[in-house]
């Protein structure tokens, strides 16, 4: 469901075109807007947007590409902000994609984002390497919640959160791995897991 940067640009162009003119752009008009001389390339981008649920296409008409709004698709677009470790902490890094997620996974639209999981420390919670997790941005968590935590200011990790006095325990959901136990002041909670997306 993730959009590439170019797919996002084409989707935004089509939405704006329809809003301004009241009808859809042709493949040629889309191509001209992005300096794409091949109609086949434009068609491929449009087809991906149809498959991902962002556009609706009537195959028997020209100018038949129509943007789907979020109310009709039941999806909300969130930024994919990078990768988080479900294993030893690693630095999260920025990527430039957006992901469509079911609306019921998002309580607060402007304060939610998506991360790609790397590692297998949460497999007993059914969170696997390569999965996408929907995160609600929050600076605090309750004991037992699965969180994205920043350890010592730079190392992001996905673990179960437990506060015990002056210490925080970040517990993996994998019996072969040990918990991370650090002073509470060395841990910043960046958010709590609200949903899970997986491609087969």
> Is 160 a catalytic site residue?
no
52 in active site: no
Strand residues in 24-166 grouped as ranges (E)? 55-57, 65-67, 75-85, 97-102, 112-118, 132-137, 146-151, 155-164
The encoded tokens of residue 13 equal: 């162009």
| CA 107/CA 68 separation, integer angstroms | 21
Describe the crossing of helices 5-21 and 27-34 by its angle, rounded to 10 degrees. Answer: 120
CA distance readout (Å), 54 to 92, 129, 159: 28, 27, 33
Q: Which two tokens stand for residue 24?
A: 């859809």
Catalytically annotated residue among 159, 160, 167, 199:
159
Candidates 24, 112, 121, 160; catalytic one: 121
Catalogue the active-site residues: 121, 159
């Amino acid at each position: 469901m993730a959009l590439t940067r170019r797919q996002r640009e084409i989707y935004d162009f089509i939405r704006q075109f329809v809003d301004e003119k009241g009808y859809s752009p042709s493949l040629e008009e889309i191509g001209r807007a992005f300096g794409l001389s091949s109609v086949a390339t434009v068609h491929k981008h449009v087809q991906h947007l149809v498959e991902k649920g962002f556009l609706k296409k009537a195959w028997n008409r020209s100018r038949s590409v129509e943007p789907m709004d979020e109310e009709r698709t039941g999806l909300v677009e969130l930024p994919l902000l990078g990768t988080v470790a479900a294993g030893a902490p690693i630095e999260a890094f920025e990527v430039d994609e957006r992901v469509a997620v079911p609306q019921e996974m998002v309580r607060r639209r402007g304060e939610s984002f998506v991360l790609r999981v790397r590692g297998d420390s949460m497999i007993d919670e059914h969170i696997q390497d390569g999965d996408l997790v929907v995160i609600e941005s929050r600076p605090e968590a309750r004991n037992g919640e699965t969180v994205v935590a920043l350890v010592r200011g730079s190392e992001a990790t996905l673990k179960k959160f437990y506060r015990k006095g002056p210490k925080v325990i970040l517990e993996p959901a994998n019996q072969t791995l040990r918990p991370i136990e650090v002073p509470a002041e060395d841990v910043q909670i960046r958010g709590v897991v609200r949903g899970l997306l997986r491609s087969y």
